[in-house]
Amino acid sequence: MKNIPILNVYYLLCYAWGRVQERDTARLATLGGLSTVQDLLGKVLAGGVNHLFRRGIDRGYVERREDLAGIRGKLAVSETAKRALRARARAACDFEELSVDILPNRILRSSLHGLLRRGVTMDGRDVTLDRRVRADVRSAYRRLDGISRTRLRRNTFGQVQLGGNRRLYHFLLSVCRLLYESSLVDETTGRTTFRDFRRDDATMWALFEEFVTGFYLREQRVYRVNPGGRRIQWADPGWATDADRARIPVMDADVILESPERRIILDTKYYRDALAGGRERGAGMGPASGTGSSTGGRSAYGTGKLHSGNLYQLLAYLRNRQATRPDGPVHEGILLYPQVGDEALRADVRLEGFRIQARTVNLGRDWRLIHEEMLGVVGVGGG
């Protein structure tokens, strides 16, 4: 799964972060020629910043203090007295000023600066940005002159407040966050280690889940997506105290699809092996313990069994949502995995009255085929 083509990674990001229209831009051809995810994120970030400037970069009110000849905003009485400013016919004033030097723009500039830093390693070797990408990043960085850099921390991104329709900003800040989470700076040497997030199961699982949700929101009209939210209520809850209640885990499905004919609970998993062997073993992320309890695969999947933990979890979702929302078609479940190898997995079983399928999607092939395969998983079009 680490060999997912760069262009397909870009498609995943676009759907996951709500910028599907970016698929149609002329630069897609250039993205396909990039060799590393670092180049991809740099190219996307630089192009996005340039687009912001054409559209008009965001401004916001920032607090400032200056020594002025007159009064502006609020007079800082103690500061004025302490520094004897009145003797020079001046006063310290606190006021707000409309400025481009706001946190979202600082994050953009700091992320571009990080890409331009020397001394970056990936997989134990020195790497540099593609020459053309570096030129784009440097140009975008210079366009943000006058905006301060900030030291990025994990909580920096949670401090951003974007009002109104700011989808491009959301997209670009998501790129910045992914860059930050994929980088580790050695405080002693100043060197940066950049991790190809395609090799990080936790990152790719979250991205895969967000992609699946974004894809079905955008690319089909047969089903409503997550009607009423993803939360599934327990059918027969019972607890003696609030403390006992707090110990009960919540049930949040990845994607719920509903139409007059079908109700589907779709659960995404990101494993290197969609099937466990004779004895289940952890493979990639997600629960995978106990013994297999379902149908086996074919061909490349051999005689392996579906991970029992995946089935138990999906069955709990199906039982409880059917019990709490009985009106309508009987629920069915789909376990969706990325494909490993050449053979697709298609398992179709019925357990406790519920139809459950296990399917794979091949993220390594042409995007048009991925599009068709994703629709086929839920019975829209072919597949």
Taking the CA of residue 46 as centre, how many other CA atoms within 13 Å lie in the half-sphere pointing to its CB?
A: 25
Residue from 353, 365, 360, 346 nearest 329 by CA:
353
pLDDT tens readout for residues 30-81? 676 788 888 899 999 998 899 888 888 888 888 888 898 888 888 888 998 9
Residue from 306, 303, 282, 312 nearest 294 by CA:
306
Q: Return the domain boundaries, the chain.
A: 6-58+103-199, 62-99, 202-377
Average pLDDT along the chain:
84
DSSP class of residue 197 equals G
Other C-beta atoms lying within 10 Å of the C-beta of residue 123: 11
The pLDDT, as a whole number, for residue 149 is: 93
The pLDDT, as a whole number, for residue 1 is: 55
0.85 surpassed by pTM: no
The pLDDT, as a whole number, for residue 28 is: 63
The pLDDT, as a whole number, for residue 240 is: 73
CA 379 to CA 368: how far, in whole Å? Answer: 17
Residue from 250, 245, 233 nearest 320 by CA:
233
The pLDDT, as a whole number, for residue 342 is: 76
- Segment 252-256 long-range contacts (CB within 8 Å, at least 24 positions apart): 253/317, 253/321, 254/209, 254/212, 254/213, 254/230, 255/212, 255/213, 255/216, 255/225, 255/226, 255/230, 256/225, 256/226, 256/227, 256/230, 256/321
Given a contact cutoff of 8 angstroms between Cβ atoms, the answer to whether 77 and 50 are in contact is no
pLDDT tens readout for residues 259-311? 999 999 999 998 777 777 644 444 444 433 333 334 444 444 556 788 889 99
Give the pLDDT means over successive 10-residue stretches in the chain (383 positions).
Answer: 80 86 57 82 91 87 86 87 90 88 93 80 69 92 93 89 77 91 72 78 90 94 95 86 86 96 95 64 39 41 78 96 96 92 86 95 90 94 61
